[in-house]
Every structure is written in structure tokens, then in C-alpha cells.
């Protein structure tokens, strides 16, 4: 009877301990002792036993050869080499037996060539599954104990941190190669650009790439697994990477262990060193949300109250939309997102009432104009709100200094390229390509420098012009006098309106009625119902 031998190890640690060689050496001696003719040896190095046999390299080749009748007996060191779950083992045995191949363990008393052997195989498959689950449970308990103590238990360390010799996360303040900034400084810069200067993630990514800040993979020379090959990453910052960093609670000092797994397990929240303050982290989240709401590339109409209206029933935002009215003339409403997304309290479509856009926009705008022209006693609250919105000037000046240093470095790079050409180490085509690249990067930096200079000048003007709420009101009055554009009106509304909440109720006649509550920055709350709009066209 022609036989084949299958060996498998499940981790790189086992490969280093050469356990697969142990299996092969044992199989060689076993076959010599029992005078078994081995026609083929199949090896899967570093392959998990939970992966089906047909999805492994050597396993797929083994099944193909079994169907071709190249052998009639398969030898394994132990049954768990075929798999580490009962389903995988029994499926593999079934596939092999369909081709007429019998399975025999060289260290366990079973052989699928007889009924008792097949019965024992089923028991051993269950034992292998139980053994694996027991080991995993013990590992999880041990990992959870270490996690509660604050230790970092593997995985990619967040940018801006490193793991010390004791296994704890600490802030990485080491300078990046060729720069005066550390990873932690880059994180602070990202949060400052978004939280204070309201940059988009695209703009931040372009900015970091233009000044040559290396991402983690490029800095460390790491590669990413892709299939069975390991390839270099692009080595550039992307908007999605920036967004993932902004929403990561680790940067404000809170890490959740176990959150990324798909398995049901305990989520452990522990404190880690914070790179940014909780206040700045929260401001960055709000800017991300605002930037998303302000993205109006696909909007057919500009909505004055976009992102400001919340549903009192399901808590989701209202968004603007249009419906065909009489004569196909569009009727514009604000509609709760819960009507189309099956989320929230009602586990289905939200029954909230639609709000006529023209009515609510005119009502809110009228309240804003009334306050600007007759502010009354609300000035103290507005002054407090204004103080919260002011941004610092020192950070902008430090950033400007960094940009100008980067521009100087581009000049040095240009000279280095020319020196290489003089030494005939690069061709003229290489020189042209590199000089064009440096020129583009320098132009981007110069534009950024000019924009920073404008912002610093604007901050100085704001500091001088808006020292108190009265001056802000004077500025708003001047905008009103100039027939304000939609952008000016939108900015005024965002300045003066905290939130608009719509509570849908049933009146005495059983009809839905929307009660609208507008909460202004100047501590005034205006309540009204959509009945106020019943005689006005939408």
C-alpha cells in the first residue's frame, strides 16, 4: 500500500523550535519500522489548524494527489495535525475517505480502516477541539489579568507611543529621523490642525506629506503582509489614517483592550498616558462631524440649518431633502434620518414629522437677526461662548517656523541632487525628475506658509477686533447691512444657534404635531409648533 505523510505546525515559534522536523523524523523511523512505502511528504509550516485542509498549500496538493490515486494511506503524527477543531478534522477525513484513502495516526491507537478506528477518531477529534478551547480560555484569562494592570499585549502600537521594557505604553518623544519633531509632536499637530484650525482630514494628510513627516511603517521600515508576500506600504499619510487617529480614544488617555476582536469577550477599559487633552480630543470629534455635515458636493440645495436639527424621538439628525409637489414643483423639508436608517429607539422607521424648510429657516434666521439688532441681557452668555471659540496664536507661529525650516531643507535637497549629478552618480533624467518633485513640494510649502501668515494676521485682528461680545455683534450687524450671502448667513446661524430639537407629538385630534425648540448661544430658547407654518407655502 502506497502511503503519504502529512506534517503541520501552527506558528512561527514552532517553526523556530523545528517541531516539523521532529514530526518528519518520527514518521521516517515509523515507516522504516513498519516497512511502509512513502511516495510523498506534505508539509504546512506556520498554518493554523482552524484553516480547512483544502485551503492550505500542502493540504490542497494532498487532496488533489489523493483524488488522482497516488497513495492509499495517509500518516499523521497526531490527529490534531489535520486540524484543531472537530469540524475541520472530520471534514478532512471525510474528503480523504471519499477518494479511498485511509488515515492513520502514528502516535494514537486508531486507523480509519476499521469501524472501531472511525469511532475512536470521532472521540479524538472532540478531544482535540476541547484541548484547543481550554488553552485559548486560559490564555484569555491570563491576558485579561495583564490588561487590567495596563500592559500592552501585542498588536500595532499607536503612532506617538512605544512599549517600554516593562511592557507598558509610554509616549514616544524621540525625534523623527531628520526632523525636530517626535511622533507625539506629530499627533499634537494633527489634533491642533483639526480641533483649532478646522482642517479636513484630506488637508492634514496633504500637509504632513508636503513637509515630509514619515508615517510609522515608512519610519520603521516595516512591511505589510499581503497574501503570502510581504510588501512595502506606500509610505504616505492618507485621510483615512488621519481620521482613525482622531477617533482613537487612546490619545486622550483611554484604551479599550479586546475591542478589535470579533469574538464575544470582555472589553477592558484602562488608562494610558494621554498625548492630547480630553477637551481637545472632543473638539476634534466635533470638527470631524461638522466637516462631514458641511460637505455639500452632492447637494442640490443649500440648507441653512444643516447638522443643527436633532430628533427628540430617536436622537438622529434631520437632513434636508426635496419632494415633488403640485405641478412637479419641489417642496423642501428637513427629514429625520431615522425614517430611512433602521436605528435608534424605535428599531425601525422613526415616526417623527417632517419640518418645512422655508418656515423653520426663516423663523431661526429672524430670531438671529432680532438678537443681533436687539441683544438685551444675553451679552454675558455670548461673551463666555466667544471666549471658548478663540484659538491660540503661539501654536500657529511655531507651525510657521517649522514650515519655513522645511522650505530651507528643500533648497538643501536641491543642492544635494546637483552634487550627485556632478559626481555622475545619477543621470540628467533623474536630476530633472527630482528637481521637479522638489519644486512642487516647495510650492506647496510656500502656499501653506502664506496661508499660515494670513491666519496669524487674522488671529491678531480677531484679538483686537473681538475683545468682547459687543464687537462681535457689531461685526454681525455689518454683515447684515451688506445683504449677507448664504455662507455669511450660515456662519451667523452656527455662531448663535446651539441646537434645534424637534419633538413629534399627537394632538387632541390624533394628528402628528412637531414642537420645535431652538436653543441659542445667548441663553434664549424659542419654542414653536409646525402649525405656525400651516398657512405658509413650503
- Among residues 369, 358, 372, which one has the least CA distance to residue 320? 358
| Dihedral sign computed on CA atoms, order 366, 482, 493, 465 | negative
**Sequence-distant (≥ 6) Cβ neighbours of residue 211 within 8 angstroms:** 402, 403, 406, 445
Alpha-carbon separation of residue 418 from 119, 421, 432 (angstroms)? 78, 5, 10
Say if residue 118 is exposed, middle or buried (CB neighbours under 10 Å; 0-12, 13-18, 19+).
Answer: middle
**Sequence-distant (≥ 6) Cβ neighbours of residue 302 within 8 angstroms:** 296, 486, 490
* Pairing verdict, β 73-76 and 2-8: parallel
d(C-alpha 456, C-alpha 479), whole Å = 23
- Report how far Cα 502 is from the mean position of its chain's Cα atoms: 31
Count the Cβ atoms, other than its own, within 10 Å of residue 427: 10
**What are 499's strand-pairing partners?**
519
Catalytic option among 10, 200, 352, 385:
10
User: What cell numbers appear for 405 in the block?
Assistant: 525650516
d(C-alpha 340, C-alpha 354), whole Å = 13
Report whether 318 contacts 331 (CB < 8 A): no
Alpha-carbon separation of residue 441 from 176, 178, 436, 445, 450 (angstroms)? 20, 17, 9, 6, 14
d(C-alpha 347, C-alpha 7), whole Å = 51
User: What cell numbers appear for 218 in the block?
Assistant: 515608512
Contacts 24+ apart (CB under 8 A), 413-420: 413/438, 414/438
Alpha-carbon separation of residue 14 from 8, 11, 225, 299 (angstroms)? 10, 5, 20, 57
Residue 10 appears among annotated catalytic residues: yes
User: What cell numbers appear for 271 in the block?
Assistant: 488608562
Residue ranges of alpha helices (H) inside 170-304 are 183-195, 201-210, 216-220, 239-246, 278-294
Count the Cβ atoms, other than its own, within 10 Å of residue 317: 17
DSSP codes of every residue in 41-110: EEEETT--TTS-GGGSHHHHHHHHHHHTTS-SEEEESSGGGT-SSHHHHHHHHHHHHHTT-EEEESSSS-
Give the DSSP H/E element, type plus range, for residue 125: helix 115-148
- Among residues 106, 134, 135, 109, which one has the least CA distance to residue 121? 109
Contacts 24+ apart (CB under 8 A), 171-178: 171/273, 171/275, 176/213, 176/214, 176/219, 177/214, 177/219, 178/212
Tell me which residues are annotated as active site: 10
Amino acid at each position: 500500500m502506497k502511503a503519504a505523510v502529512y506534517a503541520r505546525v501552527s506558528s512561527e515559534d514552532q517553526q523556530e523550535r523545528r517541531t516539523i522536523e521532529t514530526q518528519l523524523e518520527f514518521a521516517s523511523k515509523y515507516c522504516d519500522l513498519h516497512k511502509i512505502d512513502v511516495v510523498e511528504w506534505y508539509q504546512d509550516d506556520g498554518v493554523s489548524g482552524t484553516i480547512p485542509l483544502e485551503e492550505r498549500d500542502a493540504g490542497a496538493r494532498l487532496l488533489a494527489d489523493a483524488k488522482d490515486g497516488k497513495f492509499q494511506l495517509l500518516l499523521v503524527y497526531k490527529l490534531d495535525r489535520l486540524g484543531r477543531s472537530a469540524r475541520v478534522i472530520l471534514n478532512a477525513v471525510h474528503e480523504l475517505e471519499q477518494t479511498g484513502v485511509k488515515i492513520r495516526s502514528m502516535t494514537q491507537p486508531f486507523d480509519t480502516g476499521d469501524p472501531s478506528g472511525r469511532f475512536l477518531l470521532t472521540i479524538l477529534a472532540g478531544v482535540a477541539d476541547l484541548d484547543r478551547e481550554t488553552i485559548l480560555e486560559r490564555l484569555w484569562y491570563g491576558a485579561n489579568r495583564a490588561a487590567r494592570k495596563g500592559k500592552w499585549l501585542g498588536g500595532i502600537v499607536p503612532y506617538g507611543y512605544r512599549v517600554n521594557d516593562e511592557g507598558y505604553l509610554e509616549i514616544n518623544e524621540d525625534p523623527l529621523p531628520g526632523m525636530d519633531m517626535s511622533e507625539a509632536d506629530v499627533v499634537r499637530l494633527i489634533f491642533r490642525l483639526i480641533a483649532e484650525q478646522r482642517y479636513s482630514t484630506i488637508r492634514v494628510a496633504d500637509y504632513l506629506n508636503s513637509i515630509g513627516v514619515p508615517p510609522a511603517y515608512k519610519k520603521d521600515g516595516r512591511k505589510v503582509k499581503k497574501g503570502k508576500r510581504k510588501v512595502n506600504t506606500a509610505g504616505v499619510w492618507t485621510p483615512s489614517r488621519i481620521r482613525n487617529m482622531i477617533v482613537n480614544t487612546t490619545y486622550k488617555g483611554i484604551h479599550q483592550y479586546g475591542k478589535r476582536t470579533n469574538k464575544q469577550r470582555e472589553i477592558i477599559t484602562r488608562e494610558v498616558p494621554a498625548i492630547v487633552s480630553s477637551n481637545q480630543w472632543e473638539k476634534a470629534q466635533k470638527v470631524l462631524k461638522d466637516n462631514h455635515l458641511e460637505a455639500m458636493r452632492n447637494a442640490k440645495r443649500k440648507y441653512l440649518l444643516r447638522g443643527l436639527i436633532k430628533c427628540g424621538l430617536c436622537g438622529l439628525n434631520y437632513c434636508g431633502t426635496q419632494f415633488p409637489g403640485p405641478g412637479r414643483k419641489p417642496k423642501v423639508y428637513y427629514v429625520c434620518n431615522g425614517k430611512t436608517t433602521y436605528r435608534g429607539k424605535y428599531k425601525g422607521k422613526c415616526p417623527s414629522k417632517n419640518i418645512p424648510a422655508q418656515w423653520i429657516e426663516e423663523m431661526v434666521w429672524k430670531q438671529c437677526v432680532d438678537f443681533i439688532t436687539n441683544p438685551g441681557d444675553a451679552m454675558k452668555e455670548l461673551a463666555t461662548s466667544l471666549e471658548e471659540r478663540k484659538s491660540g496664536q503661539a501654536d500657529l507661529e511655531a507651525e510657521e517656523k517649522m514650515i519655513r525650516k522645511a522650505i530651507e531643507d528643500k533648497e538643501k535637497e536641491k543642492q544635494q541632487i546637483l552634487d550627485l549629478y556632478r559626481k555622475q552618480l545619477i543621470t540628467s533624467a533623474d536630476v530633472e525628475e527630482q528637481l521637479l518633485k522638489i519644486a512642487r513640494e516647495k510650492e506647496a510649502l510656500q502656499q501653506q506658509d502664506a496661508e499660515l501668515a494670513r491666519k496669524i494676521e487674522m488671529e491678531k485682528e480677531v484679538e483686537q477686533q473681538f475683545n468682547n461680545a459687543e464687537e462681535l455683534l457689531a461685526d454681525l450687524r455689518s454683515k447684515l447691512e451688506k445683504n449677507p450671502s448664504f455662507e455669511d448667513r450660515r456662519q451667523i446661524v452656527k455662531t448663535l444657534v446651539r441646537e434645534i430639537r424637534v419633538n413629534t407629538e399627537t394632538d387632541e385630534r390624533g394628528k402628528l404635531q412637531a414642537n420645535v425648540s431652538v436653543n441659542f448661544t445667548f441663553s434664549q430658547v424659542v419654542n414653536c409648533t409646525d402649525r405656525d407654518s400651516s398657512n405658509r407655502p413650503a
